[in-house]
Amino acid sequence: MDKTTQIDFASVLASSVHDMKNSLCLLIQSIDNLSEQAKALNADSELAKLHYEASRLNTNLLQLLSLYRAEKDQLPINIDEYHILDIAEEIITQNQLYLDSRKIQVEIDIEPDLTWYLDLDLISNLLNDVFINAMRYTNNKIFIQAALNKNQLVVTVEDDGSGYTENMLKQTELNMHEINLTSGHTGLGLFFAKLIARSHQNNNLTGQVELKNGGRLGGSQFILTLP
């Protein structure tokens, strides 16, 4: 096979991710439409599970595409000013079907006029992934808070589950070699979160991600800081 016909697998993979992401978006929209009809048949819980897994897959594909672009030094960063409450409420709306099915309570502590400069797509995907994990491991409560601290935006997502594992709490560096593809918790989501956070820089400061246990609800605490 000559150079003109050689397949660049990475590029093919990136293109495939785009196609799969579009199909998943249509699937999620169809599930949302069917959910209203399913309520009358008491079948909405199964649709909620389907919606949840489709959302997880969609998020994973977005992460994969972003990681590919980062590896190629082509990760686009489009910074603009956005209302943080709008971002949080949109994430909740996207996952409302699963929240209702599991009767999960979500509390938000964000001032309506709080705005910050960030990449909307990247940060929304990051926080949606964190929220999906919180839904998966919580008992029945999730708390989202955002505020300014020392001229930086701090967003916290907490749940009342069993908290992060010791291995996750020890992952302090942005290291691809720490990812364990043979386990149920690969760490890829955390790697993605750190990558996106650190792509946000301002005044010699860099975005950071921190994991803790305890806090307001006694479970996991995901803390995102953006300069």
Q: Per-residue confidence at 35, pLDDT binned at 50, 70, 90?
A: low
Domain contains 3: no
Domain contains 76: yes
Domain contains 139: yes
Domain contains 34: yes
- CA-based R_g, the chain, Å: 18
Question: Which is higher by pLDDT, 102 or 19?
Answer: 102
Question: pLDDT tens for residues 142-181?
Answer: 999 999 999 999 999 999 999 998 888 877 655 544 544 4
Q: Quote the number of domains for the chain.
A: 1
Residues 126-150 have a mean pLDDT of: 93
Q: Per-residue confidence at 208, pLDDT binned at 50, 70, 90?
A: very high
Look at residue 208 and give its three-state secondary structure: strand
Residues 123-128 have a mean pLDDT of: 91
Tell me which residue of 59, 12, 83, 18 sits closest to 193, measured CA to CA: 59
Handedness of CA 221, 32, 110, 202 (dihedral sign): positive
Residue type at position 11: S
Tell me which residue of 211, 65, 63 sits closest to 124, measured CA to CA: 63
Domain contains 108: yes
Q: Report pLDDT for 4.
A: 42
Q: Do 147 and 154 meet the contact criterion of CB atoms below 8 Å apart?
A: yes
Look at residue 79 and give its three-state secondary structure: strand
CATH of the domain at 103: 3.30.565.10
Q: In what order do the strands lie in the sheet with 208-214?
A: 105-109, 141-149, 152-159, 219-226, 208-214
Domain contains 4: no
Q: What is the torsion angle, in degrees rounded to the nearest 10, for the CA atoms of residue 171, residue 179, residue 222 and residue 141?
A: -130
Q: Do 129 and 93 meet the contact criterion of CB atoms below 8 Å apart?
A: no
Q: What is the domain extent for residue 62?
A: 9-226
Q: Report pLDDT for 181.
A: 43
